[in-house]
Structure 1
Amino acid sequence: MKAVVQRVIKANVTVEGEVISSIGKGLCVLIGISKDDTKKDMEYIARKLLSIRLFENDQGKKWHLSVKDKGYEILCISQFTLYHVLKGNKLDFHNAMAAEKSEAYYKEFLDLIRVQYQADLIKG
């Protein structure tokens, strides 16, 4: 698994002009799932997302608190393109998990984070 993490004041996902999901302050995370990913990979990324210290504390000390410490939201977006390989001028996605399998894996990942944090603060 790969995760591209960005701190945000607000974030949303829109499809054809319709907002599918949105959050306030927190993390926007692009999640790439490899064809070789296991439950152990999922658990590792979930643990890191919830504990990585990206926010300042009340005294202004930067990189001191996690999203969990602050009670912020997380918006996860499945992004198979994180597992691309350049082949000439074309992208090859053979390292990404197949769509049918990755959808279930992604939902299981979201459920895992919801159990470890607050379900209503995790959006996908």
Structure 2
Amino acid sequence: MRAVIQRVTEASCTVDGAITGSVQQGLLVLLGVEETDTAADISWLAQKIVNMRVFSDEEGKMNRSLLDIKGSILLISQFTLFASTKKGNRPGFTRAAKPEIAIPLYEKMKAELSGLTGTPTAAGIFGADMKISLVNDGPVTIVMDTQDRDNH
């Protein structure tokens, strides 16, 4: 599972001219699901996302988490995070999970994040042609992959 996490002052997702989800201060999370991902990957990544200290304290240091600032999350599915660009000029997406695997894991991540924050997680629509608007704050952008975690 791969996530691109952006600190935002606002973000929204629009599908067919209708807003499907929006947040003010918080995080925009672009989530790619791989065939081998599990519930353990979701738990680990969700905990990292809500507890990551990327928000400024009184001294301007990144010492506060999303939970500390009572921020919101906009979660967007993005299979292109698993693009392979090794051959040719057209990316391949064979590592990205098929919808029958990815959708339940994406929905589980949405529920996990909602449970951890105590507020609903705003979201896009899986597989839709989404238009994402955001104001990246900082900018602060973090890339995380569950394959990189220490299993100890």
Alignment of 1:27-38 (within 5 A): 27-38=27-38
Aligned to 2:71: 72
- Secondary structure, aligned partner of 1:10: strand
Question: Quick one: distance in 1 between partners of 2:21 and 2:103?
Answer: 17
User: Letter of the aligned partner of 1:69 in structure 2?
Assistant: D
Is residue 2:38 matched to residue 1:4? no
CA distance in 2, matches of 1:15, 1:117: 25
- Work out whether 1:42 is the aligned partner of 2:48: no
Question: Could you tell me which amino acid in structure 1 is paired with residue 2 of structure 2?
Answer: K
Question: Which residue of the partner structure matches residue 81 of structure 1?
Answer: 80
Structure 1: runs of 5 or more not aligned? none
Give the drift of 1:44.
1.0
Q: Which amino acid aligns with 2:92?
A: D
Deviating above 2 A after TM superposition, structure 1's stretches of 4 or more consecutive aligned residues are none
Cα deviation code 1:39-93 (max 9, x no counterpart):
1111111010011000112x22321000111001011101000011023111111
Q: In the aligned structure 2, how far is the partner of 1:16 from the partner of 1:111?
A: 25
User: Any residues of structure 2 matched to 1:1-124 within 5 Å, and which?
Assistant: 1-57=1-57, 59-86=58-85, 87-120=87-120, 122-124=121-123
* Matched residue SS, 2:103: helix
Q: TM-score, normalised by structure 1?
A: 0.93
* In 2: Cα distance, 1:62 partner to 1:17 partner: 38
Kindly state the Cα deviation for residue 19 of structure 1 after the two structures are TM-superposed: 1.2
Aligned AA (2:26): G
Q: Which runs of 5+ in 2 are unaligned?
A: 124-152
* Structure possessing the higher relative contact order (Cα contacts under 8 Å, 6 or more residues apart): 2
Aligned length: 122
Of Structure 1 and Structure 2, the greater helix share is in 1
RMSD, aligned CA? 1.1
